[in-house]
Amino acid sequence: MPAQTTNRALVGDALDMLFEVLMPYVEREMRAVYRDRWMREAQDILHDKPLSRWDTSDLLSLIYHKFFHVFNDLGHEGRSWVSLLKEVRKKWAHQGTLSLHDTRRALENASLLLRAVGAYDEAGKLEPRIKNLMRLELEQEIEPEATAPLINGTPEPLPEPALRGDGAGGPERARLFGKGLRRVRSLLQKAPVEPLELRRDLLDAVERAAEPHKKHFTFNRLLIHILAENEQVRLLYESALDGPGEPFREAVLRRLADARIAVHGSLNVSWKFHRTLPQRLVDQFKGRAIYVELHRRKASTTATLTVMQGKAKRNQYTIKSGRTVTLGRLAEVIDNKGRLVRRNTIAFQDYEDERLSEAQEQIHRTISRAHASIRYDEADAVFRLYDDQSTWGTSVVREDYEMPIQVKKQHPVPLQDGDLIYVGKACVRFTMGRRR
């Protein structure tokens, strides 16, 4: 029958669309949980069916049977959608009768599942068909002879009088149609509320931001700004970012790889929540709740500190730009009220330590608990040495300088390769780069 053939065509198109979307989705999610064993796990469910022969039914079966281990982010509603689609696909494959009701429900559930996995464009393509099927179903219930014909697999829109409610049975027809239309809109146009949907939104935003730089992606930092107007929204996004399974940074790298955007070196992924739009970013959000900033941050500069005189926990330390390095006596500095006020990166032993020789004890008596610190100056690209109000002072002995350079409170000293740093009478050599 022509109408039945059309219903089969509509369901077949929806199943094909599901296959195209679910195939990469299922593989990604299975890989995230099972890594290299994902195919073996899938074959156990599909009775060793080769990948080249998989169809929509197989993908739905994997989602259904691996729901609690892999796909639980879809929620129990998602599992219900999958279950119904499995039944529809079975009926479709065995040439079973597909009524308007069956066809409309199949397309509705397909659209909901597509949205749940982030395929909003594909889901949107089904919406006009669902609306038309719903219109036909209502018309068939009220006035069977008024049912519109089906042309090229798509129901032909009913005449305007039927939509306005003119003619016999018009008001009831219009009321039911309006009620059904509101139901479809509420199903298909509601805002994402599940963490999985929000995670897809975040990954989509990352891909949109990276796409213009596809040929030459030189960024090493990705900052995601998220507009969360209340605590409930923030918690949903946090669940999407920090939820179980694949770490979000790995999901970002995988999404960029899928989009064939090559990331060279490391990529730092971070996020920041805002209750209101920051003034400087008002024009960037463009009506969305997510904005992604890409940054090129200079590679960190490293240096090595080698203990030449005095006894610390280690003889050599590697320091990096972006981190403050503290030098002093004891690893932790406690005030008179027992509160921790400082941790020393390079911690010399206390002068009362019995393992120190008498000469070492005399050296360590000149080291203050909070003696000195080293910070990297990004503007001048140098490490600077600061004295932290020590008792015996801090100085630098530099080659070709007759006198030590005294480090004063408001005048830090830029360090050079080979400098000897004196904290009291203890000595540390500063060397640019990492020593092997």
Residue 183's pLDDT is: 55
Query: For the chain, what's the residue count?
Result: 436
Least confident of 100-104, 148-152, 374-378: 148-152
In the chain, which residues fall in CATH 2.60.200.20? 302-432
Instruction: Centre a 10 Å sphere on the Cβ of residue 317 and count the other Cβ atoms it contains.
Output: 17
CATH topology (fold) of 302-432: Tumour Suppressor Smad4 (2.60.200)
Residues of the chain with CATH 3.30.2320: 195-295
- pLDDT tens digits along 125-163: 998 898 888 888 777 765 554 444 443 444 444 444 444
C-alpha to C-alpha distance for 352 and 334, rounded to whole angstroms: 16
The pLDDT, as a whole number, for residue 297 is 65
Residue with more model confidence, 356 or 300: 356
Q: Residue written as tokens 């080249």? A: 52
pLDDT at 322: 81
d(CA 346, CA 326): 6
pLDDT in tens, 158-192: 444 444 444 445 565 555 556 555 555 555 444 44
Does residue 112 register a pLDDT over 70? Answer: yes
Is pLDDT above 60 for 212?
Answer: yes
How many CB atoms are located within 10 Å of the residue 298 CB?
A: 10
| Mean pLDDT for the chain overall | 83
Which residue would you say has higher pLDDT here, 258 or 420? Answer: 420
97 has a pLDDT exceeding 90: no
Q: Are 344 and 356 in contact (CB under 8 A)?
A: no
> What is the model's pLDDT at position 16?
95
Query: pLDDT above 70 covers what percent of the chain?
Result: 83
Report the candidate in 394, 360, 401, 391 with the shortest Cα–Cα distance to residue 374.
Answer: 394
Separation between Cα atoms, residue 277 and residue 259, nearest integer Å: 29
The dihedral sign for the CA sequence 333, 335, 339, 341: negative
Q: Print the SS3 string covering the chain.
A: CHHHHHHHHHHHHHHHHHHHHHHHHHHHHHHHHHHHHHHHHHHHHHCCCCHHHCCHHHHHHHHHHCHHHHHHHHHHHHHHHHHHHHHHHHHHHCCCCCCHHHHHHHHHHHHHHHHHCCCHHHHHHHHHHHHHHHHHHHHHHHCHHHCCCEECCEECCCCHHHHHCCCCCHHHHHHHHHHHHHHHHHHHCCCCCCHHHHHHHHHHHHHHHHHHHCCCCCCCEEEEEEECCCHHHHHHHHHHHHCCCCCHHHHHHHHHHHCCCCCCCCCEEEEEEECCCCHHHHHHHCCCCEEEEEECCCCCCEEEEEEEECCECCCEEEEECCCCEEEEECCEEECCCCCEEEECCEEECCCCCCCCCHHHHHHHCCCCCCCEEEEEECCCCEEEEEECCCCCCEEEECCCCCCCEECECCECEECCCCCEEEECCEEEEEEECCCC
**Residue 430 · residue 417 · CB < 8 Å:** yes
Stretch among 116-120, 168-172, 229-233, 333-337 having the lowest mean pLDDT: 168-172
**15 — phi, psi (to 5°)?**
-65, -40
pLDDT at 142: 59
pLDDT at 165: 47
- pLDDT tier for residue 92 given thresholds of 50, 70 and 90: very high
For 195-295, CATH number out of 3.40.50, 3.30.450, 3.30.2320, 1.10.760 equals 3.30.2320
- Beta carbons of 224 and 272 less than 8 angstroms apart: yes
Residue 4: pLDDT over 80: no
Can you give the pLDDT at residue 160? 43
Alpha-carbon distance of 358 to 289, in angstroms, equals 65
pLDDT of residue 206 exceeding 80 = yes
Alpha-carbon separation of residue 340 from 177, 275, 388 (angstroms): 70, 33, 17
Render pLDDT for 339-372 as a digit per residue (tens, 0 to 9): 999 999 999 999 998 889 999 999 999 999 999 9
Mean pLDDT of 28-54: 92
Alpha carbon distance 312, 356 (integer Å): 11
In 3D space, the residue among 340, 74, 42, 111 whose CA is nearest the CA of residue 200 turns out to be 74
pLDDT of residue 207: 87
Instruction: Output the pLDDT for position 173.
Output: 56
